[in-house]
């Protein structure tokens, strides 16, 4: 059953035997864009409750965290289940993570800070959870900028891989940002959920790395 599922996934997404179904990438892009589009439409049509600005900011941040989990899930699916072709979606998921993080930042800068640069700078300095969130976005910037084949060729595969390991630092920073944000309302349920998922995904990588050591 597992082997048959792996063959179907690889054939559909495009494994070594072929390019895969034509609709896979458009469908992946559409699914990535859909949550953000819904949030924006809901915000402008007054469907986000009594505080639509806060709901929009937090909703965008939460989707950035979800796509970060999905991005980190690609390698375990590829290596454990044999879903080799799922690697085709990693770039799309990674760019979606960065996109939602940037939208989260822009929504905060616009709706909370009124796009006043001095207020934003002071907020970053004064509030640690804003500092950590900003650092997460800055760490993702070079990853998004080099998420293309030409960048891989320019940097070389080994240097490119080392650069993109920065995502392992983004994950704990994102959870810390999420924790401090929820600390004010003493609401930790989602923090423990996503923190556990990211801890498991990073822990699996440590275990796999130790298995590969001589």
pLDDT in tens, 47-96: 998 899 999 999 999 999 999 999 999 999 998 888 888 888 999 999 99
Given a cut of 70, whether residue 18 has pLDDT beyond it is: no
Q: What is the pLDDT of residue 17?
A: 46
Q: Which residue has the higher pLDDT, 200 or 44?
A: 200
Cα dihedral sign, 120-175-61-49: negative
| Structural domain harbouring 199 | 2-212
How far apart are the C-alpha atoms of 61 and 40, rounded to whole Å? 13
Q: Decide: 119 and 83 in contact? Cβ < 8 Å.
A: no
Domain count of the chain? 1
Q: Which residue has the higher pLDDT, 196 or 25?
A: 196
Given a cut of 90, whether residue 113 has pLDDT beyond it is: yes
Share of the chain above pLDDT 70, in %: 96
* Average pLDDT, integer, range 19-46: 89
pTM for the full model? 0.92
Given a cut of 90, whether residue 211 has pLDDT beyond it is: no
Residue 174 burial (10 A CB sphere; 0-12, 13-18, 19+): buried
Q: What is the pLDDT of residue 33?
A: 97
How far apart are the C-alpha atoms of 13 and 18, rounded to whole Å? 9
């Amino acid at each position: 059953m597992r082997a048959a599922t792996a063959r179907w996934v690889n054939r559909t997404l495009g494994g070594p035997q072929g390019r895969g179904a034509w609709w896979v990438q458009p469908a992946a892009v559409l699914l990535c864009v859909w949550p953000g589009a819904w949030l924006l439409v809901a915000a402008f049509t007054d469907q986000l409750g009594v505080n639509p600005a806060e709901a929009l900011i937090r909703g965008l941040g939460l989707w950035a965290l979800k796509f970060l989990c999905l991005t980190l899930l690609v390698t375990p699916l590829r290596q454990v289940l044999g879903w080799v072709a799922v690697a085709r979606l990693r770039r799309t998921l990674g760019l979606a993570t960065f996109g939602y993080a940037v939208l989260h930042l822009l929504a905060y800068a616009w709706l909370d800070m009124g796009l006043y640069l001095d207020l934003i700078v002071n907020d970053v300095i004064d509030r640690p959870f804003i500092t950590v969130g900003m650092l997460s976005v800055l760490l993702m910037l070079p990853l998004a900028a080099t998420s293309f084949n030409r960048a891989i060729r320019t940097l070389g595969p080994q240097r490119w891989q080392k650069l993109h390991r920065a995502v392992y630092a983004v994950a704990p920073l994102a959870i810390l940002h999420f924790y401090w944000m929820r600390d004010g309302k003493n609401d930790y349920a989602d923090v423990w959920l996503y923190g556990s998922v990211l801890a498991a995904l990073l822990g699996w990588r440590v275990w796999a790395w130790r298995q590969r050591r001589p």
